[in-house]
Chains A and B, each alone.
Chain A
């Protein structure tokens, strides 16, 4: 038992080191799981990349003869899952170099998927339903948040609809080219491209629904038929 004026400085230091040790261990474990998640994201991306490449190859091989088969096979459903996981990763793992690299890769895959879809619809003379969506994470954009939710809900309703979302602030030349083509400005975000028309600011789900129905003649899924869909936001 210690005298009440006695101070064991060594103990204060040991406890400090021990606590630092606990923090370092926690950070190590956290990094370990963070890396696991990033590996998982990379795996999904590789899969999508192979899917798209395969679809492109198939498309080139078969030409016009098998339009039907092709359009069935190209739908790369994992794009939605990847998008959501990336968004979560950005918030929870932080915008590390790897996450930002993965995000760029994701945007590229989206563009490739978009181009392929466009090519197929031109060649097979079908009309694919897709919306290009531009948002920003560089500043607080509550309209973007709202628009994202509305688009997710729309996707739930119309599973055939494809939504490609792009972060305006991403440093990727391919995305910048898209921004140039559609003349998207950062002051007018969120921005949507539906059937070549550019819409800026928030648009409600009802408004979009009317446009989507008109442009693409989509069928709403009835609740009992609805299968869980993966959104791309």
Chain B
């Protein structure tokens, strides 16, 4: 007889495989629409775009971020850059100020006439963005997190999506992990590659649930109609996407617009970041629970959110199962010790292939892992244009399955006790 936990395991595994197959079939349906444009993109018209860079203690990265915006392959007079210092306590403000200094001694227009700088009391990222929003006069706007660097072709490629279809209200780029220095960052690189694939598929399904801080571009109408950013449990880029989905505003993903982001270098920082993301996901989902499982809200409501909820349950359950197995393993070792002391049993023939696990679930889990690996490979193909295996995938599977459950359970714990995690 199959135990209760066996049934739960089967159901969760079934749903997890279902989600991966759903992505795979979406990919097969749309694979011809996924293109990487290696030639420079020419637009019929270059609309004006404002890019807001909120910064809080980003002295190490802000310079490169701004330089990347200045190097965008987009007419300079069509880009407005707002650098907003959200009460930094380090040298961020000094760096920002340099961009606003007049370049010529005669006091005429500054070196970067399209850069405006702002300084405010610290109030959180959404307040910095909202300050920027007040001054936006262009029809398109976006944000670029100060830990990210935009590829020169990114903006023009993103804007080409708006040109193609006037119904598109926001376009997210592909976010790629910037130069990995250690295994933690290598693991994240594979994960970011996978996200590119998943985001693109969600784009095809009209079901994207995050418009990430690094260079998602919106039509200003989104904010005019729906209002400014909200605190949203420190995940304002997720909340705005939920709000857009609720109001049937379309979000697309532009796979060949690259933005490079600095990923956390240590387990501790990664943990803090993910805790914030998962906490944000859980709490935004609770806030928007009324649009869950409603066919009016399309695949977003029936697929994206449920699949993320399933993954939380699956990881939580697997973790519980792992702890249980570890416990029973230790228990059996204690019994063994009590029975025979430190005597090592002769187990020579355990190498016999007879003892290889051939249960159904074993094969299913293998299939699931293959599907996940394949989605990383597809993501890599969509960003780097090359097929192939990389060790990053192994690091990703190992590190995320070992630590993932902790930030996930902590996020659930914090939600239950209404404890809000900090930004970093």
A33 to B332 Cα, complex, angstroms: 28
A202 surroundings in chain B (CB, below 8 A)? 339
A 9-34 contacts with B by CB, 8 A = 11-12, 14-16, 18-19, 22-23, 26-27, 29-30, 33-34
**Contact present for B25 and A15 (CB under 8 Å):** yes
| Residue from the list B21, B25, B300 in contact with A4, Cβ < 8 A | B300
B5 at the interface (CB under 8 A from A): no
B359 within 8 A of A: yes
Asked if B397 is an interface residue, CB under 8 A from chain A, the answer is: no
Most chain B CB inside 10 Å of its own CB: which residue of A15, A33, A142, A204 = A15
CB pair B25 A228 closer than 8 Å:
no
Q: Is the CB of B349 within 8 A of A81?
A: yes
- Asked whether any CB of chain A lies closer than 8 Å to the CB of B343, the reply is yes
- Complex Cα distance A81/B354, Å? 11
User: Which chain B residue lies CB-closest to A205?
Assistant: B340
Interface centre among B17, B26, B207, B245 (most CB of A within 10 A): B17
Instruction: Give the chain A neighbours of B335 by CB distance below 8 A.
Output: 142, 145-146, 149
For residue A162, give the distance in angstroms from its CB to the closest CB of chain B: 16
**Which chain B residues in 299-335 approach chain A with CB under 8 Å?**
299-300, 302, 332, 335
Chain A residue nearest to B165 in the complex (CB) = A1
- Known contacts A26-B367, A152-B345, A204-B339: does B204 contact A15 (CB below 8 Å)? no
Q: Are A7 and B298 in contact (CB under 8 A)?
A: yes
B345 touches A153 (CB 8 A): yes
Q: Using Cβ atoms and an 8 Å threshold, which residues of chain A touch B359?
A: 30, 92-93
Look across to chain B and name the residue whose beta carbon is closest to the beta carbon of A226: B346
Which B residue sits closest to A147, measured CB to CB?
B339
How many chain A residues have a CB neighbour from B under 8 Å? Answer: 47
Complex interface bits, B212-251 against A, C-beta within 8 A gives 1, otherwise 0: 0000000000000000000000000000000001001111
Q: Who on chain A is nearest to B356 by CB? A: A33
Q: Chain B's interface: helix, strand, loop or mixed, by majority?
A: helix
Inter-chain contacts of B357 with A (CB < 8 A): 92
Which of B165, B245, B299, B361 has most A Cβ within 10 Å? Answer: B299
Asked if B299 and A146 sit within 8 Å, CB to CB, the answer is no
Residues in chain B near residue A204, CB distance under 8 A? 339
B153 interfacial contact with A, CB 8 Å: no
Which residues on A sit within 8 Å (CB–CB) of B341?
205
Chain A residues in contact with chain B, CB under 8 A?
Answer: 1-7, 11-12, 14-16, 18-19, 22-23, 26-27, 29-30, 33-34, 37, 40, 81, 84-85, 88, 92-93, 142, 145-147, 149-150, 152-153, 156, 202, 204-205, 226, 228-231
Q: Enumerate the 5 nearest inter-chain pairs by beta-carbon distance, A residue then B residue, closest first.
A: A4-B206, A33-B358, A26-B363, A146-B339, A153-B340
